[in-house]
Structure 1
Amino acid sequence: DKDSYKVSGGLHGVGVSCVNALSDHLTATVHKEGKVWQQEYEKGKALYPVKTIGETDFTGTIVTFLPDKSIFAQTTEYNYDTLSARLRELAYLNKGITITLTDKRNTDDEGNYIQETFRSTEGLPEFIKYLDSTREQLTANVISMEGEKNGIPVEVAMVYNTSYSENLHSYVNNINTHEGGTHLSGFRRGLTHTLKKYADESGLLKNVKFEIAGDDFREGLTAIISVKVAEPQFEGQTKTKLGNREVTSAVSQAVSEMLTDYLEENPNDAKTIVQKVILAAQARHAARKAREMVQRKTVMSIGGLPGKLSDCSETDPAQCEIFLVEGDSAGGTAKQGRDRNFQAILPLRGKILNVEKAMQHKVFENEEIKNMFTALGVSIGTEEDPRALNLSKIRYHKVVIMCDADVDGSHIATLILTFFFRYMREMVEQGYIYIATPPLYLVKKGQKREYAWDDNQRDLIAQKLGVNVNIQRY
């Protein structure tokens, strides 16, 4: 209904109809024109015509429904964290509104229902601060821009931090378009064009001897792009990617104009951002050379497999698994207990590089990381993308991170996981990566030996075995 809503996330006007059809029970209560109107439905069918049930000074609509268990056979339980994240998001996207989430399934220590209230007075800048709360900002303030181009309202909040990855979030009419689309393309185009033009005109690039790419302008950037489109066209029914072509130029022009004004009014911030971009470009060029070295150091190279790798005899990658263990000592123990037919062991020297805080070329130059690339048979570069991960010659379909159960072991496991997430994410997404859960204690008495994974389990086993038990902590 174009007369009722200027913009809407719905496309066909059948949202509540579908909810009703899939609900065991639904009640709609409308406060309008001084009266309260109500109608109830069961299994999608009205139980009675719309009726007046009272008078009111308020306006608004309340819809309550219960999912039909005969349709949603696996679960009808709502995940609190999922709802909380979405409502928090909506509060940031619509500053000034108050949203309350009440979970009547659970109570706190005082017997009250679990409840959260979401309200944002700043909107997107406050959202940026929430997203970047664990990162170190390069500029004191969040860059906030709000304008309209070709009848399309555009709102952007962005900030640069000391990290090496981009973190972009895009929305259309409050819908999270996590696959991006034309509005995100417009933002990237406007950002790159404006920053490059400013850097050229201000002379900040005069001593730079190499090309600066679009990715360099977005390294360490956290940004939120929110647009309002009267008739959004999404690619597919999931509404995760915007397809309106006219939005690209509208967002690009709006971002270019607003960002130009900001850079001219804040020259110190502008210089800091451009210096970050130049460092990113330098690191990218160094990383390319380091990647090429990793690419050349394959299993078939002269150097062969890493010397510390105890390989398995099986040649079918689908049947093979490799254990990444901390240190030679753990490697020796693991080798004694493995099945050499299909299990390989690669000891890593202590804590590997924290790739979250390291520049890309430092990552590819790190010896332990190069050993992992070589042992796994993974290289960088495909026919389609020279920077993509190439898994065509992967040697193991199960990579098990096996560290001690103590704090140090957890830290090492986290560092290894971070490496895989940042540099071999396809392996994580395709289910190649596992974490072993070793016991924390060995409880023994005579010939009886039992393992415990926490203090409570240790105490229960010790109590069961009686006196004179020996407890060994790993």
Structure 2
Amino acid sequence: VSEQKTYSAESIKVLEGLEAVRKRPAMYIGDVGKRGLHHLVYEVVDNSIDEALAGHCSKIITTFNSDGSVTVEDNGRGIPVGLHKEEKKPAVEVVMTILHAGGKFDKDSYKVSGGLHGVGVSVVNALSEWLWVEVKRDGKKHKQDYKIGVTQNKLKTTGDTKKTGTKVCFLPDQSIFQETVFEYNIIAERLRELAYLNKGVKIVLRDERHEETEEESFRFKGGLSDFVKYLDTNNNPLHNKIITVNKEKTEVPVEAALRYSSTYNDNILTFVNNINTIEGGTHLSGFRSALTRSMNNYAIKNNLIKAKKNEKITLSGEDFREGLTAILS
């Protein structure tokens, strides 16, 4: 007879801080395969993108290093380094080592933010063999090192600088991930997407793992319009001008770009805070119904739909979506 396992108060485990992340990594990054591995990069990049959304960052550089690590550097304000009142540690250390810590919970610091709801960079730290962060802020350069999420030394001031920004370098933990080799094309696709969604921000991807360094730079002045053009590369557009809508003054800022081509299928991408909402949502259903309603109203108003007397004919949403390429953010 197998030994009966008791379920008592002693069975309840309280995992402190980042220990929980290492115990159940898939809860935080989706899985420990290829998808989860690449998600680490997105999380660090998302912090830089949040700085860009707040209007403080114009350039982000992601580098695949020859030792298998990744560096993400931006020219934002730099993570604060002052002492955190509650934690009695430098703010940057709190962000790097405590779950749900960060500026995105303060509405005065970030109006819009993406990432894993604030768990992001500390999760990357927990799942890395080692990580270091360098902050340029208030005329000084600061650096701190970590191993599997644990602080290795006090925050050091390493010199003077006139620049500002944050630089994070990490090596994924081989004991956690099934594979630790980053695929250039997977990261490039996401960075290109982010450059379209954040017009004017320059996002650079470097690969220093081979004899010759490979480098790509993404920067799109047209934003979503350029994104539609990119998606329409192999299509035959029915009109050159891309229709754009931009509402900044509403409670939830909305931007959209759309164009029709001679293809039968539709391609509608929706994003919330730079995150692709592949499952759809009220924003997608709202967009579809608004498009159908507007097109029907226009058609009836301009006598484009011929109906018999006292008969009302309206076209379906599918009719209006045929050949449509649209992006909603």
Normalising by structure 2, what TM-score?
0.65
Cα RMSD after superposing both structures: 1.5
Paired letter, 2:214: I
Q: Which residue of 2 aligns with 1:117?
A: 217
Distance 2:116 2:207 in 1: 30
2:183 aligned residue? 79
In the TM superposition, residue 104 of structure 1 has moved relative to its aligned partner by: 1.1
Is the counterpart of residue 168 in structure 1 residue 278 in structure 2?
Answer: no
Offset, 1:65: 0.4
Find the counterpart in structure 1 of residue 193 from structure 2. 89
**Which of the numbers 28, 32, 40 marks the counterpart of 2:133?**
28
Matched, 1:37 2:142: yes
When residues 197 and 4 of structure 1 are mapped into structure 2, their CA distance, relative to the original with a 3 A threshold, is same
Task: Tell me the amino acid that sits aligned with residue 140 of structure 1.
Answer: N
Once the two structures are TM-superposed, the CA of residue 128 in structure 1 deviates from its matched residue by 0.5
1:220 aligns with 2:317: no
Asked whether 1:198 is paired with 2:198, we answer no
1:31-430 alignment, distance < 5 Å: 31-72=136-177, 74-107=178-211, 112-148=212-248, 150-207=250-307, 211-226=314-329
Displacement of 1:179 after TM fit? 1.4
Give the drift of 1:150. Answer: 3.9
SS in 1 for 2:229: helix
**SS in structure 2 opposite 1:84?**
helix
Q: In 2, Cα distance between the equivalents of 1:11 and 1:91?
A: 19
Higher normalized helix content (fraction of residues)? 1
Aligned-partner Cα distance in 2 for 1:221–1:207: 26
Post-superposition offset of 1:183? 1.0
Q: Distance in 2 between matches of 1:136 and 1:26?
A: 47
Deviations 1:405-464 (A, max 9, x none): xxxxxxxxxxxxxxxxxxxxxxxxxxxxxxxxxxxxxxxxxxxxxxxxxxxxxxxxxxxx
Q: Give the Cα separation in 1 of the matches to 2:231 and 2:204.
A: 21
Residue identity opposite 1:67 in structure 2: P
Aligned residue for 1:5? 110
Provide the TM-score with structure 1 as the length reference. Answer: 0.45
User: Quick check: 1:18 aligned with 2:123?
Assistant: yes
Higher RCO, Cα 8 Å, sep 6+? 2
Residues 283-308 of structure 1 deviation map (CA, whole Å, 9 limit, x = unaligned) = xxxxxxxxxxxxxxxxxxxxxxxxxx
Give the secondary structure class of the aligned counterpart of 1:204. coil
Deviations 1:144-196 (A, max 9, x none): 11114641111000000001111000111111111111111111111111111
Matches of 2:257 and 2:324, distance apart in 1: 11
Cα distance in structure 2, aligned partners of 1:125 and 1:220: 16
- Distance in 1 (CA, whole Å) between partners of 2:222 and 2:318 is 29
One-letter amino acid of the counterpart of residue 63, structure 1: V
What letter is aligned with 1:90? L
Give the AA of the match of 2:166: T
Question: Alpha-carbon deviation of 1:42?
Answer: 0.8
Q: How far is 1:207 from its partner?
A: 5.0
- SS in structure 1 opposite 2:209? strand
- Whether contact under 8 Å (2:296, 2:314) holds in the other structure is no
Distance of 1:187 and 1:18 partners within structure 2? 35
CA distance in 1, matches of 2:249, 2:152: 48
| Runs of 5+ unmatched residues, structure 1 | 227-474
Per-residue deviation at 1:67? 0.4
Q: Secondary structure at the match of 2:208?
A: strand
Alignment partners' CA distance in 2, 1:6 and 1:113: 37
Q: What is the alpha-carbon distance in structure 2 between the residues aligned to residue 187 and residue 202 of structure 1?
A: 22
Moved over 6 A (4+): none
Contact 2:132 2:170 in 1 (8 A): yes
SS in 1 for 2:134: strand
Which of structures 1 and 2 has the bigger CA Rg? 1
In structure 2, the CA distance between the partners of 1:198 and 1:211, relative to structure 1 (3 Å rule), is: closer
- SS of residue paired to 1:106: coil
Matched AA of 2:235: R
- State the identity %: 52
- Paired residue total: 221
Partner residue in 2 for 1:434: none
